[in-house]
């Protein structure tokens, strides 16, 4: 039976996973030993903060957004245009090639429709309104990056998928034809069969799994997308790692770097960047124009919903970072992006004055060892 939990790899796919240097004792490993969940001794304070603090985790209403349909009808003036559609979903137009990253249109980052983190921000367009796609890139298998209803819909098309080792088992179970699935180990490259696009998987520092007891059964990756005149780095989910310096040397330079900045906490080990570490990561990657993702859509952490954006704006000058922060749904050509205008602040002020409006009571914080599924 097809299910949002997905399925485990078998056969030739499993044998290829076992051949990876990252696959040790039946599971994938990070290059460095890192804490995947709450750091030792922090569980009590973290739970207390979640239950008693961490206000303003959602805005009082939808964030400002733009309908990109009219803009998409006109080709960009440069080789690269990006449209952030929420969380880690970005439509990239690179030399006429359209690539969609970690597409999530579902209402919840969850295997069920009645529980789990619910989006507070709608996607600016429906899936059916997207222009024809040339590729879909999936960084890893967590629910806020690999979304069952979205994949089921995209499976009806002929678009090829590029993803990390093992994730193809889920895609195939959900209807994606196996010949359209390209699974990559770190430093491996796949080329689009018809368009001038290459996709390379590279190191990241995270974890994987879609059910309790499934610890790191599939690989997680950053993804580098390259055409003749454009190069984009997409982090997926990751902590800060010196491997970014290696990525710059081997696969750079980049015209645009897309790094996760939301859903972070010091007690959550080393599996998420947060805004300040994202600025450090961007510097390691060469200091390209920086589009922050993984914020403004789901309540997955204890920080205020706008904290990632505000922290980035405050700290970016000290890092010499060139931020690209368009509204949701606003197509932007990074080489021509204007200075950041904090378009989210009217909602920030409103939420400060009114307090946070929550639809559901809080649950325990997302701890991979205790929740029935990994949230992020």
Domain ranges, ordered by start, for the chain: 11-61+76-354
- Residue 111 three-state SS: coil
- Give residue 367's pLDDT: 31
Which two structure tokens, joined as six digits, stand for 114? 């009645």
CATH T-level assignment (fold) for domain 11-61+76-354: Metallo-beta-lactamase; Chain A (3.60.15)
Q: What is the pLDDT along the chain (376 residues), one digit of tens a residue?
A: 468 999 999 999 999 999 999 999 999 999 998 865 554 544 444 444 444 445 689 999 999 999 999 999 999 999 999 999 999 999 999 999 999 999 999 999 999 989 999 999 999 999 999 999 999 999 999 999 999 999 999 999 999 999 999 999 999 999 999 999 999 999 999 999 888 999 999 999 999 999 887 889 999 999 999 999 999 999 999 999 999 999 999 999 999 999 999 998 887 768 999 999 999 999 999 999 999 999 999 999 989 999 999 999 999 999 999 999 999 999 999 999 999 999 999 988 776 655 544 333 333 333 333 333 344 5
- Minimal CA–CA distance to 232: which of 100, 61, 41? 100
H or E element: which one contains 258? strand 256-260
Which two structure tokens, joined as six digits, stand for 222? 């950053």
DSSP 163-232: EETTTHHHHHHTT--GGGEEEE-TT-EEE-SSSS-EEEEE-------SSTT--S-S---EEEEE-SS-EE
- Minimal CA–CA distance to 227: which of 188, 259, 187, 254? 254
Q: How many other C-beta atoms can be found within 10 angstroms of the C-beta atom of residue 58?
A: 19
- Give residue 193's pLDDT: 86
H or E element: which one contains 314? helix 307-319
Which two structure tokens, joined as six digits, stand for 94? 């690179």
Which two structure tokens, joined as six digits, stand for 144? 């806020």
pTM, rounded to two decimals = 0.91
What backbone phi and psi angles, to 5 degrees, belong to 163? -155, -175
Q: Output the CA torsion 241→244→249→254 (10° steps).
A: -170
């Amino acid at each position: 039976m097809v299910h949002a939990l997905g399925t485990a790899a078998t056969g030739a796919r499993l044998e290829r996973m076992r051949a990876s240097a990252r696959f040790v004792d039946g599971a994938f490993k990070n290059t460095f030993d890192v804490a995947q969940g709450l750091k030792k001794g922090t569980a009590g304070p973290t739970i207390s903060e979640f239950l008693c603090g961490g206000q303003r985790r959602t805005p009082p209403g939808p964030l400002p957004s733009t309908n990109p349909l009219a803009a998409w009808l006109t080709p960009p003036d440069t080789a690269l245009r990006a449209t952030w559609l929420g969380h880690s979903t970005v439509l990239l137009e690179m030399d006429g090639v359209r690539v969609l990253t970690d597409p999530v249109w579902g209402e919840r980052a969850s295997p069920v429709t009645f529980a789990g983190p619910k989006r507070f921000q709608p996607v600016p367009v429906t899936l059916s309104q997207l222009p024809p796609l040339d590729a879909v890139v999936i960084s890893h298998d967590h629910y806020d990056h690999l979304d069952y209803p979205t994949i089921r819909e995209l499976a009806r098309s002929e678009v090829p998928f590029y993803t990390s080792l093992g994730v193809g088992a889920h895609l195939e179970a959900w209807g994606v034809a196996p010949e359209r699935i390209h699974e990559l180990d770190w430093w491996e490259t796949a080329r689009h069969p018809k368009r001038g696009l290459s996709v390379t998987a590279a190191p990241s520092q995270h974890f994987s799994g879609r059910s309790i007891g499934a610890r790191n059964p599939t690989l997680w990756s950053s993804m580098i997308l390259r055409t003749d005149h454009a190069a984009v780095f997409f982090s997926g989910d990751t902590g800060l790692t010196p491997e970014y310096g290696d990525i710059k040397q081997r696969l750079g330079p980049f015209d645009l770097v897309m790094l996760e900045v939301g859903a972070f906490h010091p007690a959550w080990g080393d599996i998420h960047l947060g805004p300040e570490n994202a600025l450090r990561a961007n510097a390691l990657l060469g200091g390209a124009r920086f589009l922050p993702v993984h914020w403004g859509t789901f309540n997955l952490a204890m920080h205020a919903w706008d904290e990632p954006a505000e922290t980035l704006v405050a700290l970016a000058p000290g890092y010499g970072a060139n931020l690209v922060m368009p509204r949701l749904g606003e197509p932007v050509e990074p080489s021509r992006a204007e200075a950041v205008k904090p378009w989210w602040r009217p909602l920030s002020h409103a939420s400060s004055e009114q307090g946070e409006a929550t639809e559901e009571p809080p649950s325990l914080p997302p701890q991979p060892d205790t929740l029935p599924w990994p949230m992020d």
